[in-house]
């Protein structure tokens, strides 16, 4: 881990004057309690239409396009079922990115704007809540299955706000470029999740003494018989953390189908690859999971940095897990013009693996001088943390805005971008260039 506790103390104290308004503290109002028939028909038409075209996108319900700031970064905005128009990377399986301004508009990402990522194209378009069951099996004393009603009735309900971020978020910015989904910065979202503790379920089933890992599977499945099913496993200690929950609600509503209705695993602080959607099967293992999605995919160079020299292959790898510290400026875009001679408020968010954000520093001159940003409302250690910073732009000057977050154990963002062949864990200090008019 990169620790900069000592360094952070050397940073000049700022005189930022921003006052945070907490306008965004209420939950976004969501009215999609499932698919209406009309919406479903229209949406399944979209899906069928796209499927017929073999996943090649030739029909956009919404015709607008967004250009991400890298080569081949043009994305159409299309509304999928229960979703507002999002940036489409692939349609089959759906991979939809949240337009970045959403993170400025809402601290809790609205369900209909939350990004979507599936690996396999066989995804149920309907789940019958009355027959749905969650199974717990494997190295347990009692094989159990629960209906949704039993889950809600028989276990303590818990709620927590946590960031769900794809390990490949921001992969499109890797230089040299790497294969994989070319995400901008919108393969993440922050939501309040409601459900039951995984450990309560495991305790009810009773772990056998030789239990080593817990494997999770959802209702999605591969199209071709040779493709491995998407299953992920956690070590027992990690699975028993009290924050790990099996969630049935997101921001107070049922989960959108594309985000895992009716149940998904929430692993706060860990990358989203472990947050199995449409979760219906929990299997306790007596040996380490050797399947494709653990053994071959979502792995990092086995080195504290999780990186190698650009272009090199790592000699050994380990499964990725905890998120790095990140921060973003959300209300300004590179290339924009800003007004001079009166204060401008720079707004942003920061998050980490769950120690909580301690401080955020802002530079307007490309990192030569730093000042403290004003940290906003605390929604819990796993949430986005809002921050603000004010300065007065001088006419004619070009500003290079940067933000730099440090968590409570002194972990910080990187000054230089790390590189690994799969494009994971980006958390370099980002730079926005703005001109004061």
Ligand X SMILES: Nc1nc2c(c(=O)[nH]1)N[C@H]1C(S)=C(S)[C@@H](COP(=O)(O)O)O[C@H]1N2
The residues binding Mo ion (CB under 5 A) are: 166, 273
* Interface stretch with ligand X, choices 41-49, 108-116, 376-384, 425-433 (CB under 6 A): 108-116
- Residue (122 or 331) nearer to ligand X, CB: 122
- Residue (80 or 424) nearer to Mo ion, CB: 424
d(CA 426, CA 181): 14
Binder of residue 119, out of Mo ion, ligand X, none (CB less than 5 to 8 A by kind): ligand X
Q: Is 384 in the site for ligand X (CB under 6 A)?
A: no
Q: Is 278 in the site for ligand X (CB under 6 A)?
A: yes
Cα separation values, 311 from 74, 176, 177, 429, Å: 25, 7, 9, 22
User: 51: which residues sit within 8 A by CB, 6+ positions away?
Assistant: 91, 92
d(CA 166, CA 355): 19
Residue with tokens 């399986």: 93
- Residue (283 or 388) nearer to ligand X, CB: 283
d(CA 422, CA 116): 19
By the 10 Å C-beta count (0-12 exposed, 13-18 middle, 19+ buried), 241 is classed as: middle
Angle at 117 between CA 328 and CA 278, to 5 degrees: 120
- Residue (323 or 332) nearer to ligand X, CB: 323
Q: Which one among 259, 317, 407, 422 touches ligand X, defined by CB under 6 A? A: 259
Shortest Å, Cβ 308 to ligand X: 22
Q: Which two tokens stand for residue 275?
A: 């947050």
- Residue (215 or 359) nearer to ligand X, CB: 215
Shortest Å, Cβ 157 to ligand X: 21
Contact 160, 267 (CB under 8 A): no
Shortest Å, Cβ 110 to Mo ion: 20
Shortest Å, Cβ 167 to Mo ion: 5
Q: Is 399 in the site for ligand X (CB under 6 A)?
A: no
Binding mask of the shown chain, residues 161 to 200, with x at each position contacting ligand X by CB under 6 A: ---x-x----------------------------------
d(CA 371, CA 365): 11
Report the relative pairing of strands 253-254 and 398-407 from DSSP bridges: unpaired
Shortest Å, Cβ 92 to ligand X: 13
Q: How long, in residues, is the chain?
A: 437
Task: Return the residues of window 109-148 that contact ligand X according to CB under 6 A.
Answer: 114-119
* Interface stretch with ligand X, choices 10-18, 143-151, 275-283, 345-353 (CB under 6 A): 275-283
Shortest Å, Cβ 260 to Mo ion: 13
Shortest Å, Cβ 348 to ligand X: 21
Q: Which one among 174, 183, 230, 361 touches ligand X, defined by CB under 6 A? A: 230
User: 274: which residues sit within 8 A by CB, 6+ positions away?
Assistant: 216, 232, 234, 265, 267, 321
Which of 271, 382, 276 has its CA nearest to residue 321?
A: 271
Shortest Å, Cβ 116 to ligand X: 4
**Helices then strands (H, E): number in the chain?**
7, 26
Q: Which residues bind ligand X (CB under 6 A)?
A: 114-119, 164, 166, 218, 220, 230, 259-260, 272-273, 275-278
């Amino acid at each position: 881990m990169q620790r900069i506790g000592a360094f952070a103390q050397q940073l000049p104290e700022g005189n930022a004057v921003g006052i945070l308004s907490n306008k965004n503290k209420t939950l976004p109002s969501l009215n999609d309690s499932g698919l209406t028939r009309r919406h479903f028909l229209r949406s399944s038409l979209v899906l069928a239409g796209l499927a017929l075209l073999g996943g090649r996108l030739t029909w956009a319900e919404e015709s607008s396009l967004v250009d991400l700031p890298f080569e081949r970064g043009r994305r159409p905005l299309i509304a999928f079922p229960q979703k507002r128009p999002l940036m489409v990377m692939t349609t089959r399986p759906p991979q939809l990115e949240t337009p970045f301004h959403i993170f400025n508009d809402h601290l809790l990402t609205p369900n209909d704007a939350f990004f979507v990522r599936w690996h396999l194209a066989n995804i149920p378009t309907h789940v019958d809540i009355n027959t749905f069951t969650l199974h717990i099996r494997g190295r347990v004393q009692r094989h159990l299955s629960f209906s949704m009603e039993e889950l809600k009735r028989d276990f303590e309900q818990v709620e927590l706000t946590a960031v769900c971020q794809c390990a490949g978020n921001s992969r499109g910015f890797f230089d040299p470029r790497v294969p994989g989904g070319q995400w901008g910065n919108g393969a993440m979202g922050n939501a309040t999740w409601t459900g039951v503790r995984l450990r309560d379920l495991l305790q009810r089933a009773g772990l056998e003494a030789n239990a080593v890992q817990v494997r999770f599977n959802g209702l999605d499945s591969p199209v071709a018989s040779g493709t491995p099913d998407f299953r992920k496993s956690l070590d027992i200690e990690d699975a028993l953390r009290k924050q790990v929950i099996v969630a049935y609600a997101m921001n107070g509503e049922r989960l959108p189908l594309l985000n895992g209705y009716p149940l998904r695993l929430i692993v706060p602080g860990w990358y989203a690859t472990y947050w199995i959607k449409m979760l219906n099967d929990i299997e306790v293992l007596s040996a380490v999971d050797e399947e494709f999605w653990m053994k071959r995919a979502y792995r990092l160079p086995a080195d504290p940095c999780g990186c190698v020299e650009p272009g090199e292959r790592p000699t050994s790898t380990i499964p990725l897990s905890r998120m790095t510290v990140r921060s973003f400026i959300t209300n300004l875009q590179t290339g924009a013009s800003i007004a001079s001679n009166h204060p401008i408020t720079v707004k942003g968010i920061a998050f980490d693996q769950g120690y909580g954000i301690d401080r955020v520093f802002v530079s307007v001159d490309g990192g030569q001088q730093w000042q403290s940003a004003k940290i906003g409302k605390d929604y819990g250690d796993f949430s986005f943390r809002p921050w603000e910073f004010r300065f007065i732009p001088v006419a004619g000057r070009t500003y290079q805005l940067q933000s730099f977050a440090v968590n409570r154990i002194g972990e910080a963002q990187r000054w230089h971008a790390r590189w690994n062949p799969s494009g994971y864990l980006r958390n370099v200090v980002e730079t926005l260039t703005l001109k004061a008019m």
